[in-house]
Amino acid sequence: MEWYEALLLGIIQGLTEFLPVSSSGHLEISSYLLNTDTSQNLFFNMLVHIATAFSIIYVFREDIFKLIGGLIRLESEQVSFASKIILSSIPVGIIGILFEDQVEKLFTGNILLVGSMLILTSVLLFLSNYSKSDPTGKITYQKALIIGVAQAFAIMPGISRSGATIATALLLNIDKKESTRFSFLMVLVPIFGILILKIIEGFQSTEISINKDLTTAYTVGFISSLLSGVFACKLMLKIVRESKLIYFSFYCMAVGLIGVFSSCSKNEKETFSIEPILPIEQIKEIALDSKPPFEFDLKSGLDMVDLEKLDDKLILDIRYASENNFMKSVFYEDARAFINKDAAPNILNASSQLNEMGYGLIIYDAYRPWFVTKMFWEGTPDDLKHFVADPSRGSVHNRGCAIDVGLYNLSDGKPLKMISGYDEFTEKAYPSYTGGTKFQREIRDELINIMSMNNFSVYEYEWWHFNYNECGSGVMNYSFKDLDSLKSIS
C-alpha cells in the first residue's frame, strides 16, 4: 500500500463514517466496481476506525468530560444519560455477538443488497426531514432503546449508522442538537468494544500482521482518517441543525440506484482471465507438435473413472469445456471429469463429509491431457507461470490424481462465494491468504482440512487444487474419447 492510497482510504473512512451515506456501503461498492479487496490489511482497517473514534472524542470532548465528571460525582442527569447510552448499545451488541458470522456473510460484494439498503437509508433521511423536531424533546429510556435498534440495523452494508440513528431520533421528535449528540456519543461504546475484541481475536489467531514497511502508510491513514472524521463530525452537526439531511437523501438514492443497476448489468459470473502471450491457435499447434522428455503412460488410462457416474451430489462445472476460463478458450471436447480409481473413493468420502455440513462439491477440473497443460504453459506470461504446471515434468492433473473443486449449498444448489474465483491468478487464491471474510476463510480451511483427511494435499498457490498423495500413475495424453475407447476395449 502506497502512502497516497492510505491517504485516500483514510479520508473516505473519516468522511463516510459520520456523514449519513454509509461507509460500509461505499467501501463495498468501491471494492465491487474496482475489483479490490481491502480486507487483508486488518491492522490498517483497525487504525482508521480507531482514528474516527478519536475524532468523536475530540469534537465532543466537553460533553465527554462533563459526562465523566458527572458520573464520578454521581449526578443524576449524567448517570441517566450514560445509562441511556449503554441501553442503546445493547441491540447492536446482541447482533454482533450472536450473529457475527451471519453479518460477515453480508459483506461479500452483494452489490444488489448494498444498493437496496442505500435506497432504504435515502427514504429514512427523506422522512426525517419532514419530522417535527421538538426543541424541548428529550431522550427517554424507551426512545434510547429504539435508537439503539436503528443502530443495530445499520450493521447491514448500505445503511448509514449516523443517518439511521439521527433520523430515528428526529422521527421520535427529539431535539436536533440532542439527536446528533446522542447519535455520535452512543457509537463510542460499540466501536471501542468491537475494536478491543477484534484486537484480542486478531492477535490470538495471528490474522493481524504489522508490516514495518507500511509505517508511513499507517501514519498517513490514521491522520487523514482522524482529520476527515473531525471535519465530518462538525459538518454533520451543522447539517442537522440546518435541516439539510434531505440532500443526503438524494445522494444515497442516486448511489443506491447505481449499485442496483450495476448489479444487474455486471456479470456476477465474470471469470478472471489473462491475455495469452500467443494466439490460441498457435498455442494449440505448438502443443500438439510437442513431445515431452519422457514417455507417456499408456496403461494408467485403464485406471480412470468417470466422477459424474459415481455420485449425483457431485456437480460438474468443467470450465475448460467452455470459454468460461482464464484463457477464454475451449480446451476440452466434453464437460467431463475423470480421476484415478484409487483416488475416487477418497473424493466420495470427502463429498459425504461435506454433505453432512450442508455443502456439496463442484468439480471444475480433474484429469487433464498433457497437451492442454502444454497450452497453458505456452500461453501464460512468465510472472504468472507458478499458477500453471511445467509440461516438461508433467502435472498431477496429467496423472489423473489431481482435482479442482469448489463448494455449493445443498439447500439451494448455489455456489458459495469464496475468497477468490476459480483460476484467479492473484494472492487471493493462496490457501494462506488472510483476506476475505471470516466465513470465507473458515469454509476454505474446512475444505482443505476435509480433503487432507482424505489423503489429498492442497497446492500452495491455489485453494481449489488438490493432489492425491498416493498417486501411482504416470503422465497421460489421452483425450476423454480415448479414455472411453479404452474402457470399451477392456
For residue range 1-40, what is the model confidence (pLDDT) as tens digits? 677 777 877 888 788 777 776 666 665 565 555 555 555 4
Binned at pLDDT 50, 70 and 90, residue 354 comes out as: very high
> For residues 245 and 203, what is the distance between their CA atoms, to the nearest angstrom?
40
Binned at pLDDT 50, 70 and 90, residue 46 comes out as: confident
Mind listing the pLDDT tens digit for each residue in 367-395? 999 999 999 999 999 999 999 999 999 99
Q: What is the per-residue burial (b if ≥16 Cβ within 10 Å, else e) of 285-307?
A: ebbeeeebeeebbeebbebbbbb
pLDDT for position 216: 86
What secondary structure does DSSP assign to 30-70, as a single string?
Answer: HHHHHT---SS-HHHHHHHHHHHHHHHHHHTHHHHHHHHHH
In 3D, which of 95, 179, 177 has the Cα closest to residue 143?
179
* Residue with the three cell numbers 422522512: 127
In 3D, which of 419, 394, 416, 224 has the Cα closest to residue 300?
394
Mean pLDDT of 69-80: 92
Residue 84, pLDDT > 50, answer yes
With 0-12 CB in 10 A as exposed, 13-18 as middle and 19+ as buried, what is 77?
Answer: exposed
Higher pLDDT, 489 or 243: 243
In 3D, which of 223, 220, 266, 258 has the Cα closest to residue 21?
258
* All domains of the chain in start order, with CATH: 3-265 (no CATH), 280-489 (3.30.1380.10)
Residue 199, pLDDT > 50, answer yes
Virtual CA dihedral for 437, 441, 442, 445, nearest 10 degrees? Answer: 170
Q: Does the predicted model carry a pTM greater than 0.85? A: no
> For residues 360 and 351, what is the distance between their CA atoms, to the nearest angstrom?
6
Q: What is the per-residue burial (b if ≥16 Cβ within 10 Å, else e) of 256-267?
A: beebbebbeeee
Helix (H, G, I), strand (E, B) or coil at 8: helix
